[in-house]
Structure 1
C-alpha cells in the first residue's frame, strides 16, 4: 500500500482571490493596511495565527488573534454568499487525477491543509469529492505546517510507513513538512510559491503528469 497526501489551497483549488479578499477585510476590521496579494500568497498553507504573525510582525498576539477571527468570518461569509465552488475552483485536471489515483487498489488518498475542518468540508461538498480521502488533517487539530504532525497523523490513521507516502503541495511549507515526517515531497508548479523555492524531490507541471511522478517516487503499484 502507498499513501498520497494532498494540500488543498494552491494545489487542488485556486482560492487565492477569495483568500486575499478575506485578508483585506480582516485587516480593515482592525484598522491596519491590508497586505498585497504576493504577501498573502507567501503565507497560504500556514495556520491563521502563524500567518497573521508573519503579515503583521510589529503587532501583538492579541492583534493576530483578532485578525485571524476577522479572516474566518470574512471567508465564511464570502463562501456562503458565493459558494465554495466559485470562490475556490478546482485546478484543471484535479478531479481526473484524484479519481484515477483513487481507482488504484494499492493507493490511498489523504489531505493535509491549513484550512479549518469547516472549510475543507465545504470544498469537498462543493466539488463532490466525498469518499476520496481516508484521512483529513486540518489546522483545527494540528500544529501549523511545516510541523510534521499532519503527515504523521495521516500515516498513523492509515498504517502506512513514511517511506511509502508522498506529500503533494505547492508551498515550501508542504515540502518541509513532508521531509520532516520522512515522506517524499512532490511539488506542483501552478500554486502560490515559486517552483524553484519549493525544494521538492520532484516537480510536476500538470495533473496529467502527477500519477507518473508518484510512481517514480514511490514505485509502480503491483
Structure 2
C-alpha cells in the first residue's frame, strides 16, 4: 500500500505526542499507575481511568485519579509511580512499527518535527537517547516546561520558537488530550487509534483524520 502524498506539503511543522503515539508504552504506564495505588492501599483505578490520564503531567494525573486524598498522599503516589517506572527503565519499550521510517520521510521533506508530551524533561531526554530518535526533533516541550495538556501552552511555545504559523502546523496524538490541545491552539489534529483512546473517542474531537498505523500519516501531510 502506498502512503505517498504531494511533495508540496501544506504543513511545515508536525508535533508528535510520545507515549502511545511513537512509543508502545501505554501498558507500562497503566501498570505503574496501578502499582502506585497498591503501594498506598488505595482503590485500584480501572484501565480506562488510567488511559484517560495518560498525557497529563504526573501531578495532574494523580489528582484526577485520586481527587479526594490529601496533598501528602498525592506526593507519595507520584514518588511511587516514579519508583515503579524507574525500576523497569532497563526493560526497553518498542517504537510502533514504521515510526522511524515516517520520521525519516518527513525530515527529508524539510518538515520540522517536534514533541509535546506529558513526560518530564528527564524522561523524554532518556527516551530520545535510548531510541536514537533525538536526531529527528528540532524542539520539544514537556510537562515540567508548560501547562498540562489539554491547555495549548505546549503548542503555543513550539509555534513561538519555530516561528511557524498554526495553520501550517499539525499535532499527532493518541488521546483526547492531544486533539483537544491541537484544537485550542488552532493546529490540524490527527489521531492515532493504537494508543490510549480508540477511533470513536478520537473522532469526537473532529480531527483531520484518525490513522491506524504510523505510515498512514504520510497520506495526510
Report SS of the residue matched to 2:160. Answer: helix
Q: Which residue in the other structure is 1:70 paired with?
A: 80
State the structure with bigger RCO (CA 8 A, min sep 6), 1 or 2.
Answer: 2
Q: Which residue in the other structure is 1:140 paired with?
A: 144
Decide whether the 8 Å contact of 2:175 with 2:196 is kept in 1: yes
State the 1:154 CA deviation: 0.8
Q: Which residue in the other structure is 2:171 paired with?
A: 167
Counterpart-to-counterpart distance in 2, 1:49 and 1:203: 29
Q: Which residue in the other structure is 1:219 paired with?
A: none
Decide whether the 8 Å contact of 2:142 with 2:154 is kept in 1: yes
Counterpart-to-counterpart distance in 2, 1:103 and 1:122: 25
For residues 54-90 of structure 1, the C-alpha deviation after alignment (integer angstroms, 9 at most, x for no partner) is 21122123322221222122212211x42xxx2x210
- Which among 213, 217, 221 is matched to residue 220 of structure 2? 213
Counterpart-to-counterpart distance in 1, 2:72 and 2:146: 21
RMSD over aligned Cα atoms: 1.4
Report SS of the residue matched to 1:131. Answer: helix
- Which among 25, 36, 40 is matched to residue 50 of structure 2? 40
Matches within 5 A, 1:1-222: 2-79=12-89, 81-82=90-91, 86=92, 88-105=93-110, 107-198=111-202, 199=205, 200-214=207-221
State the 1:152 CA deviation: 0.7
* Greater displacement, 23-32 / 175-184: 23-32
Decide whether the 8 Å contact of 1:204 with 1:213 is kept in 2: no
For residues 176-220 of structure 1, the C-alpha deviation after alignment (integer angstroms, 9 at most, x for no partner) is 101111111111111111222121222112222111212xxxxxx
Q: Which residue in the other structure is 1:217 paired with?
A: none
Counterpart-to-counterpart distance in 2, 1:195 and 1:51: 22
Report SS of the residue matched to 1:136. Answer: strand
State the 1:37 CA deviation: 2.3
* Greater displacement, 43-52 / 29-38: 29-38
For residues 93-131 of structure 1, the C-alpha deviation after alignment (integer angstroms, 9 at most, x for no partner) is 1111011101112x1000000001111112111211122
Aligned pair count reads 208
The runs of 5 or more residues in structure 2 that have no matched partner are 1-10
The runs of 5 or more residues in structure 1 that have no matched partner are 215-222
